[in-house]
Chain A
Amino acid sequence: METASICVVAELDENGLRECALEIIGEGRSLADSCGASLTVLVTAPAARDWLEALKRQDVDRVVLIEHPLLADPSPEIHAAALGQWLSEQPPALLLMSDTVNGHETAARLAAQLRWAIVTDCLWVKGSLQSGFNAIKPTHQDQVHTTYTCSPGQPLIATLRPGVIGTETPRGARTAEIIRWQPALDESLMHVRTVEIVPGDPRTIDLREAERIVAGGRGVYMAEDWHLIEELADALDAAVGGSRQALDLGYIPNERMVGQTGKSVKPRLYLAAGISGASHHLDGVNTDALIAVNRDRGAPIFSRCALGVVGDLYEILPALTKRIRELRGMK
């Protein structure tokens, strides 16, 4: 092996690279820079898709695409088997993974198979190739932090808690080399099979995780009218959010408030009805598809939205709800 390497396993979902994957790629990059190691990203997938382009734009030296039709099953067993085949041939000094539900299980399976040291759910990984790595993780229900030390020369798997590190803009200074590799997998390796994935109920999930949000504000005059927002959210399978005004008026509970003092959300769709769009609110909204419904043509939200509707939400929302329900064949 040329230079010692740091490997990162990037997790995918139906929309491509997950944010936690970008986080650990960034973390891997800074560790690799400080150690003088190369950074390799491993991806397991049935076939390459548009996320490969996104991966190339990250500051990585090598992308190893582990392709096999059986990897279409999201269950960690087969992914761990595929990763294990590659890693046992080319062991890195450090392997970073995301401590998501599947990431955790995959990491645990890999450690058990390869008999490598592992620290899960870390906040920090520090160290160098010569002196070995330290991993710091919260224990005792986050009341204390425990440091684990791994001696140099033995590979360490560290899973990092998602959402803690944050992402930076990649510098784009490197062009990644892409290696496509087909592992030897067959059905006999799969004991646990995915039957179905049932998506979460948008009514109850955390706003930060919501893919679609319908939010309301002062434009809803009375608590009795809040059902307009809720019905539209139901029709769109969206979560309900609100502005500070909606919270103060008692329309929404605290955890449903979006904005600087509430939650920073990143949905694929954000429909704001009766929200003027003060920066306190909109600074917490990061989306390409911001639809605004407001009576006031001069509302600041109209300069930030992708589609603005000037009109009364009391007329537009029920008509929109009805039309969407028709189109989606809901009763």
Chain B
Amino acid sequence: MSLNIVVCLKQVLDTQLPLQVDESGQRAVQDAAQPVYIINPADLSALEAAMHLKVRLGARLTALTLGTERAVDVLRHALARGADAALHLVSEKEELDVWTVAEQLSSTIAGLKAELILCGDSSLDGASGLVGAFIAEQLHLPLVTRAIQLELLAEQRKLRTWRQMERGARAIVECPLPALVCTSALIAQPQYVSVYRLQHTDNSRIERIAISSVKNPALPGCTMGGISAPRLRPRKMPAPQASLSAAQRIRFLMGGAQPAAKPESKLVEGSTQEAVERVVKFLQERGLL
């Protein structure tokens, strides 16, 4: 079975370089004469994960991007990396809102008959982490986010995914194909692509579709109010008890506001054997063993 995989890629400003707010207060710009753009790292990892699947199972890989003329670089990279086809949705406007992007991408993907759609989890710039979920909803596809490992059970037309959860935990989930998976940047380490391959990528293999960048008024959403320098939010903490002395209250706040109540202390003095048994009993009582 040859699998159809679509990978959505986004071109973003390289945030490793220092950014500033421009005069209009509406955009973040690089402090450089020639701004540097890269492929969003999570998307690039998604492409790499798709390449692994292609090598193992055989698949047809389509790279899809939505962006201005400049974004063609992303697709050249994708082709150099081994994508079979490339689609460029050309917009005139720089920044489109997530609803418009999701609507445009999903209407394109709907015509591609894809079994698996991969997106990066979130972008470096806007970092909303929404487009994948919105596409999945529009196309009525199962959605898995934060994927860190993929296993395709092609015969059963099933996908098994490891999700990256908090506290280092992994959730293993299964869903039928076709499906949309948002990948973590850790899912695969992008390989090196030689300059030769990049130079010899044929631009004519990139299919261009012009799209309207006017937002459909029926779509919901917020308006971007502006960009500012980051300002930290002070963290709330529980008020110190009034019964404490001033010095104790200061210490309480400096120490991350831990409760001042002391648990009742029990001391064990005796043989090692005895001490061990007491600790074990304590752990068992608290359900820690």
A interface residues, Cβ below 8 angstroms from B: 26, 74-77, 100-102, 104-105, 108-109, 111-113, 115-121, 123-124, 134-135, 137-151, 154, 156, 164-169, 191-201, 204-205, 209, 211-212, 236, 260, 264, 268-269, 279, 283-286, 288-291, 293, 297, 302-311, 315-316, 319-320, 323-324, 327-328
On chain A, the residues within 8 Å of B251 by CB distance are 279, 283
* A90 CA / B166 CA spacing, docked (Å): 31
Minimum C-beta distance from A77 to chain B (A): 7
B256 A283 Cβ-Cβ under 8 A: yes
For A76, A285, A320, the residue with the greatest tally of chain B CB atoms inside 10 Å of its CB is A320
For A147, A264, A288, the residue with the greatest tally of chain B CB atoms inside 10 Å of its CB is A147
A121 B129 Cβ-Cβ under 8 A: yes
A197 B230 Cβ-Cβ under 8 A: no
Among A100, A311, A319, A328, the residue within 8 A (CB) of B289 is: A328
For B134, B165, B222, B272, the residue with the greatest tally of chain A CB atoms inside 10 Å of its CB is B222
For A75, A142, A191, A315, the residue with the greatest tally of chain B CB atoms inside 10 Å of its CB is A191
B255 A105 Cβ-Cβ under 8 A: no
Show 16 residue pairs from A and B whose CB-CB distance is below 8 angstroms, ordered by the A residue: A100-B166, A101-B146, A105-B133, A111-B133, A117-B220, A118-B222, A140-B28, A144-B227, A146-B126, A146-B227, A148-B224, A149-B223, A192-B142, A197-B171, A268-B288, A310-B269
For A150, give the chain B residue with the smallest CB separation.
B222
Binding-face segment, B14-22, B55-63, B191-199: B14-22
On chain A, the residues within 8 Å of B136 by CB distance are 112
For B136, B256, B278, the residue with the greatest tally of chain A CB atoms inside 10 Å of its CB is B256
B133 A108 Cβ-Cβ under 8 A: yes
List which B230-253 residues lie within 8 A (CB) of chain A.
230-231, 233, 235-239, 251-252
On chain B, the residues within 8 Å of A304 by CB distance are 262-263, 265
* A113 CA / B267 CA spacing, docked (Å): 58
A145 B228 Cβ-Cβ under 8 A: yes
B interface residues, Cβ below 8 angstroms from A: 13, 15, 18-19, 21, 28, 124-130, 132-134, 136-138, 142-146, 160, 163-176, 179, 219-231, 233, 235-239, 251-252, 254-256, 258-259, 262-269, 272-273, 275-280, 282-283, 286, 288-289
Minimum C-beta distance from B160 to chain A (A): 7
On chain A, the residues within 8 Å of B165 by CB distance are 101-102, 197
On chain B, the residues within 8 Å of A77 by CB distance are 142-143
| Main DSSP-derived SS at the A contact region | mixed
Additional A-B contact list (20), CB under 8 Å, known A191-B175, A192-B143, A305-B265? A75-B173, A116-B220, A119-B128, A139-B28, A140-B15, A156-B222, A166-B236, A167-B237, A194-B173, A198-B169, A198-B170, A198-B172, A260-B254, A269-B288, A283-B258, A284-B255, A284-B256, A302-B267, A307-B278, A323-B276
A283 B255 Cβ-Cβ under 8 A: yes
On chain A, the residues within 8 Å of B173 by CB distance are 75, 192-195
The 7 closest A-B pairs by CB, nearest first: A200-B168, A283-B255, A112-B137, A108-B133, A264-B256, A166-B236, A191-B142
Among A115, A195, A288, A293, the residue within 8 A (CB) of B174 is: A195
Minimum C-beta distance from B122 to chain A (A): 8
B238 A169 Cβ-Cβ under 8 A: yes
Q: A149-B225, A283-B258 are in contact. Are A138 and B127 (CB under 8 A)?
A: yes
For B102, give the chain A residue with the smallest CB separation.
A112
Among B134, B169, B276, the residue within 8 A (CB) of A316 is: B276
For B287, give the chain A residue with the smallest CB separation.
A268
* A75 CA / B163 CA spacing, docked (Å): 10
Q: A148-B224, A205-B168 are in contact. Are A291 and B279 (CB under 8 A)?
A: yes
Q: A146-B226, A291-B279 are in contact. Are A260 and B255 (CB under 8 A)?
A: yes
On chain A, the residues within 8 Å of B21 by CB distance are 144
B129 A104 Cβ-Cβ under 8 A: yes
* A118 CA / B13 CA spacing, docked (Å): 23
Minimum C-beta distance from A141 to chain B (A): 4
On chain B, the residues within 8 Å of A115 by CB distance are 219-220
On chain B, the residues within 8 Å of A109 by CB distance are 133, 137, 143
For A201, give the chain B residue with the smallest CB separation.
B168
